[in-house]
A and B are shown apart, each in its own frame.
Chain A
Amino acid sequence: DGGITQSPKYLFRKEGQNVTLSCEQNLNHDAMYWYRQDPGQGLRLIYYSQIVNDFQKGDIAEGYSVSREKKESFPLTVTSAQKNPTAFYLCASSPAGNSPLHFGNGTRLTVT
């Protein structure tokens, strides 16, 4: 079955540590995205990539970094510079712009 795999499902880190969230897709989609979801705020775009080796900042990129070395993979690093990292992180992909997004089942990150 084609889809998006996010791992791990739950992640716990101490404040001050960087952490990398994994996202892999086998849908052969060119575009990939990272969203953050907080209660009552909907989904907010962190970074997106239209094609391999290229990515753009979204609305809340500060404290995050990404790479897109392979079409299938778009890992997100939450750095110690992110002031409120505890959240539900969702990875998505689409064939192109203006196409509907296909989402993974998310990673819940808790930083204490």
Chain B
Amino acid sequence: QKEVEQDPGPLSVPEGAIVSLNCTYSNSAFQYFMWYRQYSRKGPELLMYTYSSGNKEDGRFTAQVDKSSKYISLFIRDSQPSDSATYLCAMSENGGFKTIFGAGTRLFVKA
């Protein structure tokens, strides 16, 4: 079993839809949770960074962490064609240098 599970998709939605992306994990020691966006043939760029459980909002993006269920989510409101990319969840333990990534979900937003 992988430490971090993420549905690879692809996920296709119409412009303006609310997108929900999710990851589950097995290591209860994970404390830091991240979402990265990766465009084709580019490096990942950080979207959201949260510590422990709770919600964090930044513009059209909301990250949720439920440590009791070992489940994290990223919501994208009013999705745009420019949001079409691969979204990677990532997490790490306290004091660690090893960040573990999910496989990534490919998202297509149709105009």
A40 contacts B43, C-beta separation under 8 Å = no
**For chain B, which range describes its interface: under 10, 10 to 19, 20 to 34, or 35 or more residues?**
20 to 34
A-B contacts counted at CB < 8 A amount to 62
Which residues on A sit within 8 Å (CB–CB) of B8?
Answer: 40
B43 contacts A104, C-beta separation under 8 Å = yes
User: CB of B72 within 8 A of chain A?
Assistant: no
- Interface core residue of B34, B92, B96, B97 (most chain A CB under 10 Å): B97
CB 8 Å contact bits of B29-69 with A (1 = contact, 0 = none): 00110101000011111100100000000000000000000
User: CB of A18 within 8 A of chain B?
Assistant: no
A41 to B88, CA, bound (A): 11
- Interface core residue of A4, A97, A105 (most chain B CB under 10 Å): A97
Instruction: Say which one of A43-51, A61-69, A71-79 lies at the interface with B.
Output: A43-51
A101 to B6, CA, bound (A): 19
CB 8 Å contact bits of A69-112 with B (1 = contact, 0 = none): 00000000000000000000010100001101111111010000
A58 to B42, CA, bound (A): 22
Instruction: List residues 1-47 of chain B with CB under 8 A from any CB of chain A.
Output: 4, 6, 8, 31-32, 34, 36, 41-46
A98 contacts B98, C-beta separation under 8 Å = no
Binding site secondary structure of chain A: strand
B98 contacts A45, C-beta separation under 8 Å = yes
Which residues on A sit within 8 Å (CB–CB) of B4?
Answer: 42
User: CB of B108 within 8 A of chain A?
Assistant: no
Q: Tell me the smallest distance from the CB of A44 to a CB of chain B, in Å.
A: 8
B43 contacts A105, C-beta separation under 8 Å = yes
Q: List 8 A-B contacts (CB under 8 A).
A: A40-B103, A42-B102, A42-B104, A92-B43, A98-B32, A100-B46, A102-B46, A106-B41
Residues of B within 8 A of A (CB): 4, 6, 8, 31-32, 34, 36, 41-46, 49, 88, 90, 92, 94-99, 101-104
Which A-B residue pairs are the 7 nearest by beta carbons? A103-B43, A42-B103, A43-B101, A42-B101, A97-B97, A105-B43, A100-B46
